[in-house]
Structures are given as structure tokens and as C-alpha cells.
Amino acid sequence: MALPADIDLNADVMTKDTKTLSEVRMASLFRKRNIIFGARAYGDKIGRIESLCQPLLEKARDDASEFGDQPQALANLNGLCNWVRSSFELIESGKEDNDCTSEVLRRLNADQSDEGKVTYEAVRAIATGIPRPGHSVVGVGTFRDGESGWKMLAKEYASNSHSTATDDGTIFEGSNEANLYRNGGGVVVKIELLGNTSEAYLRDAGGAMARFFFM
């Protein structure tokens, strides 16, 4: 599904000029059976995913439930690692009361049990891409040790619906795609730990993706 820039969604007959679809498209969304994914906007419309993709989501959600299947969506969590890194910096500089700080990371930091300390350091390694002391890579063992913490952080991030700012002015708004699905009636039901293992996405979100159900 794509929403060309010159289509009037309220018109009885939708027309477009001679430009190609790739030149005029504003947003797109994909559906495979009952799974919705890949919401995105193009060019200077990137920050408007929620408003531009809303009509596409409504159509995809209706089509996904046509045969009685539960409509679902899989959202990227772009910016998750940056948000977690910022939370580490705030907590460890004594500014954990900043509104931008992760509540989950606060709790992980407060857990001084051996298991809690392992989880905390594994989460740090996933967020920063820097191996833990004694490890040469951020690998399978790190994701295993940090799984519970990283899933909780990812769910908190996917559920974030308001803008927050750090002291240096950095603004975190959560994932635009997750915001779209949540505001469209979706509920986060599961975090896929390594839903996307591309190198770029591992750096950006530690591989995590959020699965939504539309009730």
C-alpha cells in the first residue's frame, strides 16, 4: 500500500498526474496475511509517519481480519539503543530523576544481586556495542544474559507515547512506527529479541522489534 502525494483521500475518484508513483509517494505500509509491518514515510515527510500512515493502517487492519485472523503488527524500535545509552548516562551522573530516564533501567541498576549485575552489564553492552570486560564481542552470550532486561527496555520504549528531552536538548519520541500502531488500537504483546539482525539495526535497536495485537 502506498499513499501518493497528489491523491485526495476524500475524493470519490482518485487520480494522479503523469509522475511515477515513486516520485509522488508520501508513505507506505505492508501486509502479509494478518501481519502488518514496514510503515514508513518518504523525503521530507519522514516525521509524519503517524498521520500519513493512519489511513493505510485502517485499511490493512480491516483486510487482515477478513478471514477471522487476529490482526497483528510488527514495529521497528529505531532509536532504542540511543535512548538506553542516554538513560545510562543520566543514572550514572546522578540525574536519574530526569523524565527521559528509563524506569526499567532504574530498577535494573538498583538490583545488586549477582544476576542483576550481569543483566545490567549485558544490557549496557547491547546498547553501546562495546563488549563486556572479558568478552571480545557482543555475541550470543551477551544477548542471553541481557535478554530479560533488553525485552523490558524494548517494551517500555515501544509503549512510550510522549516526547521527553535530556538536559542537552536531545528529544526522544519513541518509535514512530510503534506510536502509529499503538495509537491505532494496538497493544504491545511481545518483544522479538532479535527480530532484525542486520548490522545497522543491531546498532540502532539491539535487534528488538515489538509485536502488537489489535483487539
pLDDT in tens, 55-89: 999 999 999 888 778 999 999 999 999 999 989 99
> Residue 160 — φ and ψ, nearest 5°?
-80, 120
**CB atoms < 10 A from the CB of 20, how many?**
9
The Cα 124–Cα 132 span in angstroms is 8
- Residue 26: pLDDT band (50, 70, 90) is confident
Residue-level pLDDT at 47:
60
- Does position 175 have pLDDT exceeding 90, yes or no? no
- Does position 21 have pLDDT exceeding 90, yes or no? no
**CB atoms < 10 A from the CB of 79, how many?**
17
- Residue 171: pLDDT band (50, 70, 90) is low
- Does position 162 have pLDDT exceeding 70, yes or no? no
**In whole angstroms, what separates CA 16 from the centre of its chain?**
33
Residue-level pLDDT at 40:
86
Mean pLDDT on 142-168: 82
pLDDT in tens, 30-59: 999 999 999 988 876 556 778 889 999 999
The Cα 146–Cα 118 span in angstroms is 8
DSSP character at residue 99: T
The Cα 91–Cα 40 span in angstroms is 33
Confirm whether pTM is higher than 0.75: yes
The Cα 59–Cα 67 span in angstroms is 14
- Does position 144 have pLDDT exceeding 80, yes or no? yes
- For the packed helices 140-158 and 114-128, what is the interaxial angle rounded to 10 degrees? 80
**Beta strand pairing status for 186-192 and 171-172?**
unpaired
Residue-level pLDDT at 101:
78
